[in-house]
Amino acid sequence: MKINMNVKYIIRLDDACPTMDMEKWQLFEDMFDKYDIKPIMAVIPNNNDPKQKINKFDNDFWNKVRDWQKKGWHIALHGYDHVYISNHSGLVPFNNKSEFAGLSYQKQSEKIKKGIEIFKKEGIETNIWVAPSHTFDENTLKALKEHTTIKIISDGIALFPFKRFRFFWIPQQLWKYKNKNNGIYTICYHPNTMSKDNILKELNLLKNNKNKIINNINDLEIKYKDRSLNIFDFIYEYFFLYKRSLFNFINRKRYLWKK
């Protein structure tokens, strides 16, 4: 099969927390170490989501996160407690449940300040935001700008990274490996809810396509820092949402064209 070098992938793992399914996460970590893959690791600062309480509380969890950081992996702030308290979809219309979207600026600021304080206490540095269920709004971005040094949003629907709302967005469009012809795609895995067989299948696909994986996402900002969204992104988003679900298609937010 011909390899198309116009396509690249970023790997992201969501829902890291002290009660995660350590065995499944270790499968990813072993493979990343073997092939020198540097993913985005979305860490919940203070998990209270029962669905993420799989194993007993791991007192060594933050040491593990610090080890990821030492390896050059990209640690992202993944909300605060991962508990959904609104039915707003926010700027990226994937879901209608949120920890952030629809809340006041003050409430969102409190969550983000608490989350970043935990990171600082544990010696974790981050410049990436990953919203639980992709749901966040302009108040979220305002709070991130005010209370953190985060500059990168790992989310959005586009073919390539772009600048919007004074943040650098790296789009996230896949939840499993797919052969694509053109673009930069973030593949988001949720190890806690994946079967072991599915994980092994995906790891094999990543191994066979490791030459297409981007390790240093900071280099993307240099290349795409001034990129605006264009008609091709709009068309991609249009069909992406329509294919994903009619609900999202009808209730889409035109963040693409908003300053």
Is the residue at 2 inside a domain? no
Is the residue at 139 inside a domain? yes
pLDDT band at 245 (very low <50, low <70, confident <90, very high): low
Q: What is the 3-state secondary structure (H, E, C) of the chain?
A: CCCCCCEEEEEEEEEECCCCCHHHHHHHHHHHHHHCCCCEEEECCCCCCHHHCCCCCCCCHHHHHHHHHHCCCEEEECCCCCCCCECCCCCCCCCCCECCCCCCHHHHHHHHHHHHHHHHHCCCCCCEECCHHHCCCHHHHHHHHHHCCCCEEECCCCCCCEEECCEEEECCCECCCCCCCCEEEEEEECHHHCCHHHHHHHHHHHHHCHHHECCCCHHHHHHHCCCCCCHHHHHHHHHHHHHHCHHHHHCCCCHHHCC
Full domain range(s) for residue 75: 7-257
> Quick one: 121 exposed, middle or buried, by C-beta within 10 A (0-12, 13-18, 19+)?
exposed
Is the residue at 199 inside a domain? yes
**Best CA proximity match to 212, nearest among 23, 8, 1:** 8
User: Using CA atoms, how far apart are residues 187 and 178, in angstroms rounded to an integer?
Assistant: 9
Q: Percent of the chain at pLDDT above 70?
A: 91
**Best CA proximity match to 83, nearest among 103, 104, 64:** 103
The structural domain count of the chain equals: 1
Rounded to 10 deg, the angle between the 196-208 and 22-35 helix axes is 10
> Quick one: 71 exposed, middle or buried, by C-beta within 10 A (0-12, 13-18, 19+)?
middle
Geometric angle at alpha carbon 11, from 68 and 80, rounded to 5°: 60
Mean pLDDT of 166-181: 95
Is the residue at 135 inside a domain? yes
Mean pLDDT for the chain? 91
pLDDT band at 257 (very low <50, low <70, confident <90, very high): very low
Query: Residue 111 has what pLDDT?
Result: 97
Q: Residue written as tokens 């011909």?
A: 2
Phi, psi of 255 (to 5 degrees): -65, -20
CATH label of the domain that carries residue 153:
3.20.20.370
Is the residue at 251 inside a domain? yes
* 193-240 per-position pLDDT tens digit: 999 999 999 999 999 999 999 999 988 988 998 999 999 988 888 878
Is the residue at 111 inside a domain? yes
Query: Residue 2 has what pLDDT?
Result: 37
* 33-50 per-position pLDDT tens digit: 999 999 999 999 999 999
Mean pLDDT of 118-146: 96
Is the residue at 1 inside a domain? no
Query: Residue 159 has what pLDDT?
Result: 95
pLDDT band at 93 (very low <50, low <70, confident <90, very high): confident
Mean pLDDT of 157-180: 95
